């Protein structure tokens, strides 16, 4: 049988999604929990690997198993074996053709900035703090040249292993609610550190330390060395992966990010 499930997690205690020998990963704990329910080794595949410190509310994974267990066992049973900062939010059986990564046609992220002079004591590890005032209006205008299919080399990490830097950003918006500034972005796929590099650039523009035209200029240069520093991982949330309707994969809501 093949199963799909939704996973949400806070990333501050993990070295990202992907299983690694030298540190704790989200994948390791999810596989360990599912394996205990299945009484056999389980390997899971995700919609989008997240880096150290990155969070998720709508990560989608799939796995195959030879054993028959009810949905309740995979959901409630597995959650009893997971740390408090990782949870399986839903489980459903899927067609054999479904693949969490390759069946997805788009992904959505939200970057959360806590924008006030004093750092929050209770939001540590969950948001990016910026003490200087940010203009969300300037950031939103600056972000619009990112739309469309183009080369995002200027926003690509040097260690990115993708074969090319062309992606298609389908939606990007910068908004504010009180002390929180949100960067919401949806694309067919993302390069390594792409959202965090975009966020760092937009924050510099929001602080009036760079012109609104800077994003468009960087896109034309196709040179990562000309851009600003990568924004911290703590503010980044994997919100959703999008699939053809025949798979009936549940969607997470932006309202599930605590500060919406």
Dig out the tokens for 110 from the structure.
Answer: 């939200």
What is the token pair recorded at 78? 């597995």
In this structure, what are the phi and psi dihedrals at residue 150, rounded to the nearest 5 degrees?
-160, 180
**Residues 210/218, Cβ–Cβ less than 8 Å:** no
**Are 13 and 83 spatial neighbours (Cβ–Cβ below 8 Å)?**
yes
DSSP reduced 3-state for 140: helix
Half-sphere exposure of 192 (CA within 13 A, CB side): 12
Measured CA to CA, the distance from residue 69 to residue 188 in angstroms comes to 34
Residue spans of alpha helices (H) in the chain: 26-38, 71-72, 78-79, 136-143, 194-206, 214-221
Question: Closest by alpha carbon to 109, among 214, 5, 10, 199?
Answer: 199
Which one of the listed residues 24, 51, 85, 151 is annotated catalytic? 51
Q: Is 164 exposed, middle or buried (0-12, 13-18, 19+ CB in 10 A)?
A: exposed
Q: Please name the residues in contact with 199: beta carbons below 8 A apart, sequence gap of 6 or more.
A: 111, 113, 128, 183, 231, 235, 236
| 51 flagged as catalytic | yes
Instruction: List, in sequence order, every beta strand (DSSP E) within the chain.
Output: 2-9, 45-46, 55-64, 86-93, 106-115, 128-130, 148-151, 166-177, 180-187, 236-242
Catalytic (active-site) positions: 51
């Amino acid at each position: 049988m093949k199963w799909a499930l939704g996973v949400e997690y806070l990333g501050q205690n993990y070295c990202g999604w992907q299983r690694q020998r030298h540190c704790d990963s989200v994948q390791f704990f999810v596989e360990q929990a599912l394996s205990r329910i299945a009484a056999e080794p389980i390997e899971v595949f995700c919609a989008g690997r997240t880096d150290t410190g990155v969070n998720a509310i709508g990560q989608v994974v799939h796995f195959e198993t030879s054993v028959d267990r009810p949905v309740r066992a995979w959901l409630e049973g597995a959650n009893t074996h997971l740390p408090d900062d990782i949870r399986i939010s839903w489980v459903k059986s899927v067609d054999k053709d479904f693949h969490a990564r390759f069946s997805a046609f788009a992904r959505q992220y939200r970057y959360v900035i806590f924008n006030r002079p004093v750092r929050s004591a209770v939001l540590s590890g969950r948001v990016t703090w910026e003490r200087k005032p940010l203009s969300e209006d300037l950031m939103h205008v600056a972000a619009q040249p990112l739309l469309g299919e183009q080369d995002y080399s200027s926003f690509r990490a040097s260690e990115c292993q993708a074969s090319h830097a062309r992606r298609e950003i389908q939606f990007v918006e910068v908004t504010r609610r009180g002390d929180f500034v949100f960067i919401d972005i949806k694309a067919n796929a993302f390069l390594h550190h792409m959202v965090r590099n975009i966020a760092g650039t937009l924050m510099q523009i929001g602080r009036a330390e760079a012109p609104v035209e800077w994003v468009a200029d960087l896109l034309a240069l196709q040179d990562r060395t000309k851009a600003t520093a990568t924004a911290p991982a703590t503010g980044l949330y994997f919100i959703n992966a999008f699939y053809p309707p025949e798979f009936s994969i549940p969607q997470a809501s932006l309202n599930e990010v605590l500060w919406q």
